[in-house]
Amino acid sequence: MLSPHELSTLMLVNEAPQQLESGRLDLDALRERRLVVVEMMEGGQTAPRLTPQGDEILSAIEKIRIRRDRTHAARH
């Protein structure tokens, strides 16, 4: 199970990877779980990106959010 910090880091990797510091513990935990990889870019910089498993988690969360929103809208 992902902690709230790990989940928010996973979302940041997806939306704004340039905002992440490479030494973040949450990023290391996501790498250990094989949800994120860190690639070497031109110029020696690194950039995190989601693995297919990381993408699946975010997709599942989005489906749950959409279902919840629909249920909430139907009640009102």
Domain range summary for the chain, segments of one domain joined by +? 4-75
Sign, Cα dihedral of 51, 54, 32, 7: positive
**Residue 40: closest CA among 31, 49, 32, 52:** 49
**Residues 31-58 pLDDT 10s:** 999 999 998 888 888 889 999 999 999 9
**Among the four given CATH numbers 1.10.357, 1.10.10, 3.40.50, 1.20.120, the one describing domain 4-75:** 1.10.10
* CB 61 within 8 Å of CB 41: no
**pLDDT for residue 76 is more than 80:** no
Backbone angles phi, psi at 45, to 5 degrees: -80, 155
